[in-house]
Amino acid sequence: MDDFTVTPYTVEGDVDYDRLLDQFGADRLTDEQLQNFPHPTHRLLRRRVFYAGRDVDRFTAAAARGETVSVVTGRGPSGPMHLGHVYPFYFAKYLQDELGAYVYIPLSDDEKYFSKDLTFDEIHEYTRQNVRDILAVGFDPERTRLVVDTADADVVYPVAAELAKELTPAAVEATYGTPPNVGLGFYPAVQATHLLLPQLVHGRHPTLVPIAVDQDPHVRVCRDIAAKQRHDVEKPAALLSRFLPRLGGGGGKMSTSDDAPGILLSDDRETVREKVQRHAYSGGRDDVDAHREHGGDPTVDVAYQLLAYFFEESDETLDRLAADYRSGELLSGELKAYAADRIADFLEGHQRRRPEGPIADVVEPYRLTEAERARVRPDVFGGESDRE
């Protein structure tokens, strides 16, 4: 019996990523598949943070031929963003930079209204804050589109309505459980729209969805719908990641609602140091003498894991830190201090790039153009002459 839960709405317990692959039916990434990504291979790939997928080879083969490819990875705007939210966006930027990929970023404000005890006013304020953080990543405005469900309902809803006809209540319940309201029951059709939108705008091509593993049900449902559609679309491919560890350890994912706080993208250096020193689970010994004699375990040490996931670029440095920690030469407090500084360095760069000014001006270059909208949405009153 499973002692953990992983759904799009709940992650509990110590996650067994191998057992999840059996449950979800995804394939572990091979060394050969990783070699097909642009070089140097991104650290999220070579360190197996992204560890499994579906139809990844189709995406990389098309990219190698110089064909059109796209990436979809989104955000549910229900609060301020923390470190666990942002690394898929930096990975998407890597694919855009290396492959010229289109990047589509849906913000599911409606889904958060259906699933959280929040008003739309609260959700939209988080949406505006989240957009500034997403754009701080540095996406190319010519090849990046932000799509907000309620703001872009003229595009999203007609497609979702069409896709919803291919989705039965039984299929929704089998994948997600019984939805608490009809809005959340309809949302899988909206999510499928997000994942197919680049193809509806730019024509049939491979799309890759790099997401945390808990979001895989959305991809599975979309792939089933895409197979039934009259539109000339391919099933989206998926690249599934492990969760960025929560500071308190225990195999779950970072969250702002944990007893151990998440590290927010707005945190300053001193706040990061305080959170890491006070809350990061240590793989070290109880006292200095014991640590010097027996060493620590970097595989469970959260400060080390944060470095390994994203915040230390150099593999050589990472290996040295692990060796020094195991030998007892590097103390837990020293490892935490090093990790806190690397995270703070990253955040200071991110915060400098965070766009200022009126949000309408900030987001305008990244919105769907009228020509792009016209390719997707039906014109109810166009294409037919008036009759007397």
pLDDT tens per residue, range 216-238: 889 989 998 888 866 689 999 99
pLDDT for 142 equals: 98
Mind listing the pLDDT tens digit for each residue in 58-80? Answer: 999 999 999 999 999 999 999 99
Examine the fold and report which residue of 241, 259, 277 is the final residue of a domain before the chain moves on.
241
Please tell me the distance from the alpha carbon of residue 186 to that of residue 111, in angstroms, as a whole number. 9
Cα–Cα distances (Å) from 243 to 86, 87, 116, 284, 384, in that order, read 12, 10, 21, 22, 52
SS3 assignment, position 116 = coil
- Give CA 53 to chain center in angstroms: 14
Average pLDDT, the chain: 90
Phi, psi of 204 (to 5 degrees): -60, 130
Please tell me the distance from the alpha carbon of residue 39 to that of residue 287, in angstroms, as a whole number. 43
Does residue 149 form part of some domain?
yes
Residue 384 has pLDDT above 80, yes or no: no
Percent of the chain with pLDDT over 70: 91
Please tell me the distance from the alpha carbon of residue 210 to that of residue 71, in angstroms, as a whole number. 7
pLDDT for 388 equals: 40
Does residue 375 form part of some domain?
no
**Range picked from 4-8, 100-104, 287-291, 381-385 for highest mean pLDDT:** 100-104
- State which residues form the domain around 139: 15-241
Residue 15 has pLDDT above 80, yes or no: no
Percent of the chain with pLDDT over 90: 77
Number of structural domains found in the chain:
2
Residue 205 has pLDDT above 80, yes or no: yes
Under 8 Å between Cβ of 239 and 209: yes
The stretch 185-201 carries a mean pLDDT of 96
50: which strand partners?
A: 241
SS3 assignment, position 209 = strand
SS3 assignment, position 269 = helix
Does residue 369 form part of some domain?
no
Residues 234 and 280 in one domain: no
Residues 231 and 112 in one domain: yes
pLDDT band at 256 (very low <50, low <70, confident <90, very high): low
Does residue 370 form part of some domain?
no
pLDDT for 11 equals: 57
SS3 assignment, position 233 = coil
Does residue 327 form part of some domain?
yes
Residues 331 and 191 in one domain: no
Mind listing the pLDDT tens digit for each residue in 319-366? Answer: 999 999 999 999 999 999 999 999 999 999 999 999 999 999 999 999
Examine the fold and report which residue of 204, 223, 241 is the final residue of a domain before the chain moves on.
241
Residues 186 and 297 in one domain: no
- Residue 358, number of CB atoms within 10 A of its CB: 8
Question: Which uninterrupted H or E stretch holds 144?
Answer: strand 144-148
Mind listing the pLDDT tens digit for each residue in 31-68? Answer: 999 999 999 999 999 999 999 999 999 999 999 999 99
Residues 226 and 275 in one domain: no
CATH code, domain carrying 292? 1.10.240.10
CATH code, domain carrying 80? 3.40.50.620
Phi, psi of 89 (to 5 degrees): -70, -40
Report the number of secondary-structure helices (H) and strands (E) in the chain: 18, 9
More confident residue, 171 or 345: 345
Residues 290 and 211 in one domain: no
Residues 228 and 335 in one domain: no
Does residue 371 form part of some domain?
no
What global pTM score does this model have?
0.92
Under 8 Å between Cβ of 326 and 298: yes
Under 8 Å between Cβ of 105 and 147: yes
Under 8 Å between Cβ of 123 and 131: no
Instruction: Scan for tokens 């009759």, then name that residue.
Output: 387
Mind listing the pLDDT tens digit for each residue in 280-321? Answer: 999 999 899 999 999 999 999 999 999 999 999 999 999 999
